[in-house]
Each structure stands twice: as C-alpha cells, then as structure tokens.
Amino acid sequence: MTGVNDIGQVSGVEVLVHPGKQELSDAIAARLVTAILDAQARRDVVQVSLTGGSLGSDLWASVASLAARSAVDWSRVEVWWGDERWLPAGHADRNDVQNDEAGLASLGLDPARVHRVLGPDASESAEASATAYAEEVRACAAGAFDVMILGVGPDGHIASLFPGHPAQQTTDAIAVAVHDSPKPPPDRVSLTFEAIRRSREVWFIVAGADKAEAVANGVRGAGPALSSAAQVQGEERTLWLVDRDAAGRL
C-alpha cells in the first residue's frame, strides 16, 4: 500500500505505519474485510472483537465505503466488543452505539450474532453483566476469536484494562467488571488478558502523537505497570497498525 512503512518484526510483533489517520482507517478496513473473507473460506462463522474510540468507529465508515464489503457474508460474522461502558442500551457513549452509527449497523449483520454487554437497564450489576458476557463468549466463540481489534490509550490501556488498576490482573475469567475506571464512566465491563490472548490475530490500532509513548511501550514489551497492550499477543499474529504520529517514538 502506497505510503505504508513496514517497520517489520519488533519484539515478536509486526508494525505497519501509515501516513495519517484516514489512510490508517482505510487500511484497517481493507485488512479486516480480507481477514474475514479468508476466515469464512475455512470456517462457517467468524469471531471478531471490536473496539471503541474514534478510530474504532472510523474504520466502520471505511468498511462501509469499500466495494469489497459485499463479498463478505456478514450474517456469518459474530461481533463482540473488547470492553463496554456500563451504560443503558442505546446510550450515546456506548462503544456499540458509536460503532453502529459509524457504519457497522449498515452491513447486514445478524442481530443474534451481535453480542452487546448488558447495561444497568438489563442487569443488576456490572459483575452480572461480565458473567453473562463471559458465558456468551464460551457458548458462541468457544472462548476464542479470529480477530481481536484493540485501541490503545495514552496510558497504555487496552479494552478497560488500565495499568495499575486491580481489574487489569484478573485471572481465571473471560470478562471482568471494572469500577473506579481512570476514564469516565467509572463502571465498565472488559474482556481480560486471558480472553484476549485466545485470539488468532490481535491488532492494535492507534493514531495520534499523544499515543506515541504508549505505542513504544507496547511494541517494546514494557511491564504491566506501564502497558496493558504489551501483555497480550495473538496466537498466530500480532499487528500494530499505527499512523506516523503514533509511531513517533519507535
């Protein structure tokens, strides 16, 4: 792809640098459509976990603009989220709502295969929502994902696993309730490191100079006190898909 700088293998991961945020979004979209098509050639149903944030939504506008999207049988794609803000269904600050509005809802997904975290309108607690979400993952995805897409915060967090936060080091669980989140809202539900590591491919998607240190820490394998991103890799492949600004400290 024109303008893409392939840094290559760094600490066991692959880093691809794109000129800007829009080019990055378009490249992620094209890569995702190809990955889904490849997986559908081998399996009946493909498991994809999504992310929030502006880039996590932008990529769905990019997917919606691709002619190749029509080659995908979207009814055979199971959709998950790496984390969700524990807010009522339809709330504008939920990751799923933002992704839907950006273009996800236009793709012809089977609603029964779009797995949304229950909010306070449908669940008594974030803990109950985490338990229900984990049960869905076990039942539908057998605890594994084909593609896990993760944004990375300036502090190095992924999903809602914040460095230094007690929820970050949850073990023996697929999903965890997060309280007192360093970013609002305070209550969330997140997949755990254990769940994320059970992904064939993990893609970290990052744009912006404010994320440059987090990208450097993640790529170079910093400890959990500095980087949640550095604690997970895909079973088959780990990609850092970043723009030039986010790659500024590599």
pLDDT tens figures, 158-191: 999 999 999 999 999 999 999 999 999 999 999 9
How many domains, in total, are found in the chain?
1
Tokens 């809802």 correspond to what residue? 105
End-to-end, the C-alpha distance of the chain in Å comes to 21
The enclosing domain of 166 has a CATH number of 3.40.50.1360
* pLDDT the model gives residue 4: 64
pLDDT tens figures, 108-132: 999 999 999 999 999 999 999 999 9
Mean pLDDT computed over every residue of the chain = 95
User: Residue range 22-47: average pLDDT?
Assistant: 97
CA atoms within 13 A on the CB side of 153: 16
247 occurs within a structural domain:
no
Q: What is the pTM of this model?
A: 0.95
Nearest of 119, 125, 79, 73 to residue 99 by alpha carbon: 79
Rounded CA-CA distance 38/35 in Å is: 5
Longest dimension (CA), the chain: 50
Nearest of 244, 223, 241, 227 to residue 147 by alpha carbon: 241
- Tell me whether residue 96 is exposed, middle or buried, using C-beta atoms within 10 angstroms of its C-beta: 0 to 12, 13 to 18, 19 or more: buried
* pLDDT the model gives residue 143: 78
Tokens 């149903």 correspond to what residue? 45
Range of 117's domain? 19-237
13 occurs within a structural domain:
no
